[in-house]
Amino acid sequence: MGNVMLVTGASRGIGAATARLAAERGYAVCVNYLRRRDAADAVVAAIARAGGKALAVGADVASEADVARMFDAAREALGPVSVLVNNAGILEQQMRLEDMSLARLQRVLAANVTGTFLCSREAVRRMSKRRGGAGGAIVNVSSMAARLGSPGEYVDYAAAKGAVDALTIGLAKEVAADGVRVNAVRPGLIYTDIHASGGEPGRVERLKDAVPLKRGGQPEEVARAILWLASDEASYVTGSFIDVSGGR
C-alpha cells in the first residue's frame, strides 16, 4: 500500500479540501468526522468518483479510545498512516473572556489542544522508526489567532492554537531523529463554516479589507500548503510554520 493520510475534522472546510487534494496527489485518505457522517461520506464519495481511495471514520479526537480506534481502522482499510493532519478544532460564540464559562473553556481546549496532542501521540507511536515504524509527517492546523489573540471574540481559541504552536516546535525536536517531521500552517481569514460557529458567518467579508491581499482565502489555498509540508519536497523542514493569511 502507498501513502496514507489521516485528516481530522475532514467533513468540511480546510479538512475536506485537504482530503480531496491529498487523494488527487495519490494518498489514500482517512476522513475523520465527529457528527457529520453525511458530509464525511460526501467527501469520500467525491474522492471515489475521481478514482481515489478514502474511508470515513467517526471519532472524537479528545477521546483516547476513539483516537486509537481511528488509527486502527485506517491501518486496516488503507495501510499504516504516513501523514497526520491535525485539523479538527472548534470555536464558540464571540465574547470577552470575562463572560466565558468553565464548560466552554473545557470544550474549546479539549477539541483544539487535547485532541491534537492525542492524535499526535498516536501517530508518533506508529510512525517512529525507534518504535519500528517507517517515519512520517504531522501537519498541525493552527491559526493566525495564535499570534493576533482574537481579543473580544475568542481568546480561548487563540490560546488553544498557541498551545498547538508550542507543541509543533517541541514535538518536532523530540521526534526528528525518529524519522517524523512536525510542522504547522496558520490560516488567516478563510471562507469556511467555522465563522458561523462564532456567531458571525460574514466575518471574512467584514475584515477582508484589513488583509494586505484585500480578500479572504479559500480552503484549497490552505490545503496546498499542508500538502507541501507533508510531501518529500519539504524533507528538510520540521518545526516550521507557513502563514496562509494574505499577509496579515
Active site positions, annotated: 157
Strands 180-187 and 136-141: parallel
Q: Give dist(CA 78, CA 60) in Å, integer.
A: 20
Q: In terms of DSSP H, where are the helices of 34-190? A: 37-49, 64-78, 102-109, 115-127, 145-148, 155-175
Cell of 247: 499577509
Query: What distance in Å separates the CA atoms of residue 157 and residue 181, rounded to the nearest whole number?
Result: 25
- Amino acid in the structure at residue 47: I
Residue 109 contacts residue 82 (beta carbons within 8 Å): no
